[in-house]
Structure 1
Amino acid sequence: MNIDKQVRPRQALLPNTDKSCLGIMGGGQLGRMFAHAAQAMGYKVAVLEPEAGCPAAQVAEHHVQADYDSPEGLKALLALTKHISTEFENVPADSMKELAYDGFVSPSGDCVSIAQDRLIEKRFFTRCSLRTGIFPTPHWGISRKEDVISAKDDLLPGILKTVRLGYDGKGQARVRNREELAAALVSMRGQPCVLEKMLPLAYEISVLVARGVDGQAVVYPIAENVHRDGILFTTLAPSPSVSADVAGAAQKAALTIIEELGYVGVLCIEFFVLTDGTLVVNEMAPRPHNSGHYTIDACVTSQFEQQVRALAQLPLGDVRLHSPAAMLNILGDVWFSGNSDTPREPAWDQILAIPGAHLHLYGKTEARRARKMGHITFVAPTMEQARAALHQACGILGLAAPEQA
C-alpha cells in the first residue's frame, strides 16, 4: 500500500544559484541543524516559525514569522522557496498539503498525518507486517469509559498514551489495572488515547532511513537508545546489543515501511527488542531524530545533509559509519546544581578536553529543567572508548551514567 502515489518529475535544485533556497517548517534545533547542513552545501534557508529568536531563525537567511497554518505565512514561504520540509511531526498536515499545490514538499502531508496519530500509525504498521513480519505493540483505542471495560485483560499492565501530540514522556501514564486505567483516562481530559501493552523490553533501537524522489533508499547502522523519564538520554551507534539477524530484520523492515509510504526524506523508526529477541515496531518520526544526531560526527553523510539532499532532489549520500559513537543528550538540568534555581554554565572546557568530544548547543538562551539544550557526541576507534568518554562526561556534568552505556 503506497500512501503517497504522486509522480514527481526529477527537478534537482542545484546549490549556489539565485533560486537555491530551501524551506523548513518549524524553528527548533532540528531546523537549526538542517540550516547548518544546507548552508554548508551552498543553499539559503527560509524558516516558517511563529516564535521570534528561535534556534533555526538565528542562523537562517529568512524567517517568516507566522503561525504554521497562516495563509499569509505559507504564501510568503512559497515566495522564497518551492522546496519545503518540516523539522517536527506536529506541523499541520493540511499546511504541508497546501504547500504541495505550488511546491515540492517532503515528506508529504499524507505521510505526516499518519505519524501524528498513534492509532492510524499502528494500523499502518499492522498492514506493513504482511511484508515485514514485524508487528506493533498490542494495543486498544480508548476514548470512553466503555473502552476501558472492553479492553482485553492481557493488555494490562500497560501504558495509556494520547493519540496525538504526546512526546518526551508527556501525555502518557503507566497503568496496572482497570481502576488505574479509568483514572488515567480522566487525567487525559477527554483526549482520545491508546492503551499499549507493557512488554518485556530488553532495549530499544532506532533505524534511520532515507528515500529520494527517484525511489532510491538508504538505511543507517542500528542505533541503541536509553531513556530517562521518557526523554532520550544516550544513543550508541552501532548498537552493541543487537544481533546481526535482528539488525538485518529491522533495516529491511524500515526500507519496506518507507517504500509503502511512498516517502521522500528522512524517517526515523523506533523498534523494541524484547527479552526473547522478538522485534516490535514502536513509532516513527517523519524527520531527522534526536537518536540520529550521532550521524553529524560519525557518518559520511549526516541525517541533516541527507534531508537536504532529498529535499533538493539530489542523489542520497553515503551512510557509512566511520567511527563508533556515543551520544549524550543535554537537558537544562545540567545548568542547575542540586535543588538550586540559579543556573550556572556547565564546565564545557572540561567536556571538550575529552578526546573525541563534539559539543552541539542549540542556541536556547534560557536553560530549564527537562528542556533539550544540546548534545555531545563522542567518537572513538572503539565503542569501549566512546562509552568511557561518555561516562567521563556524565561525571563532569553530575549525571549518573546509564548501565547500558
Structure 2
Amino acid sequence: MSAIKYWLWLSSLTNVRPASKAALIDHYGDAERAWFAPEGEFRTVPGVSANDAAVLEARDMSACDNILSECDRQGIDILTMQDARYPRWLCNTYAPPPVLYVKGRLPNVDETPAIAIVGTRRASPYGLKMARTLAFEIVKCGGIIVSGLTEGVDRAAAEGCLLAGGRCIGVLGTPHGEDNRLQRDVAATGALISEYPPGTVTQKFFFRDRNRVSAGLSQGVVVVEAPERSGSLLFAQEALEQGREIFAVPGNADAENSVGTIRLIKDGAKPVTSGWDVMCEFEALFPDKIVKPSGRVSVPEEVKNVPPERTKPAAKQEKTPVSTKKEIDNNITKGYIDLSEQLSRLNEEQLKIITAIGGEQAHIDDVIERTGLGTAKVLSQLTVLEIKGYIRRVPGRRVSLNTAMK
C-alpha cells in the first residue's frame, strides 16, 4: 500500500484533535508507523486523549480512495509532513497539520517573509483601504501575504497583494470545493491550501483551527480592524503563542472597529501605518529578500479605492443617509461617458487586455496568451479593470467587456 494513504487516513479523521494527531506523529515518526502500532497502544501515547485514541483504533481507511480521486479531479497537490516542500516554519509550530491540500504552488515561506493580514468581516472603508494598501506595500518590499480570503479585511488584503503582482497564500477553513474568483486568482499566482481532505463535511471549529495554520505559515500578523469580540483577536493570541510578531493598525479611538487594535497596541503590538513598518522588523532575518523603499511605496489609486458596495458599515454604526436623486444622476452620467475618454484612462497593459478580450467573452488563459503578459500581471490588471467597471467576470474563468465598452 502506498505510504500516502496512511497520511490520508490520519488527515481524514477530523473528529480527532490536531494536538492528538501531532502527538501521534511525534511519538511514531510518521503515519505509517502509527497505523501499524500494536492494538491498544494509542491510549498510552502522551498527548493523545482517550476519545481520540478510540477513534484512531478503528483504523478506518475507507475514505482514502475517494480523497485521492477527488484530489486528482480538482488538481490538488498533497503535501505530507515528510514532504520536502512542507514548510518547516509551519512544521515547527504547535499541532501542524499532517497533510496540506494545495491548489497552485506553495511559496517557500521558510526563505521569504510571509505576513498574515487579518481583521473584521464588517470592515469600514478605512479598514479596507488600509488592508489593500498594506498588502500592496508589503509585496513591493519583498513579502508574501497570508489571508483567510473571507469578506472584509482578509479579502481586501488578498486583492492588494494580487494588484501588486505578488504571491498570496489563501488558507481555507473548509475543504477545497468549487472555487470563487478570488480563490482561483490566488491559486494561479500563489497557493490555496486546506488541512481538510476534499469531501469532508465542514464543521464550525474548522475556522478556529485554521488560525494556527495561518499563524504558523507567517512570520508576523497585522490586525487592521477588530471589534471587542473579534475573531481576529483570537488569531493574534494564537500567533503570539507561536512566537510571531504582532502588528496593529491604529484607528479612531471612538470607533468600534478600533477597540481590538487599540487594545493590542496597549498590550505591546507595534502600531503600523505602512508596509515598511512591518517589513523592517524582518530585515535582519531575510536580508536578501527584503527590499527597502527609498521613500513611501507608491500605491496606485485603484488599490486604495474600494467599490462602494464593498464598504459595509461596522456593527452598531449608523448608516449615513444617501440621496436617491444623486445616485440616479450619477448612473445616468456614467452611461454617457465617451468611449475614447474611458480608454484614455487605461495604461498600456490594460489596453492590451481590453483588446485581447474583444467583443465576446474570453477565457482568462486566452487573454494571457494573446497579450503575452505574465499570469500574475494579467490577473492583477483584470482585478483593476473589474474594480473600475470595464469588465465583468462570468462563469468558467471567462471575462467580458461591460456593455458600455463594446
TM-score normalised by the shorter chain: which range applies? under 0.3
Whichever of the two has the greater Rg, that structure is 2
| Higher strand content, 1 or 2 | 1
| Higher helix content, 1 or 2 | 2
Instruction: Give the TM-score, by structure 2 length.
Output: 0.27
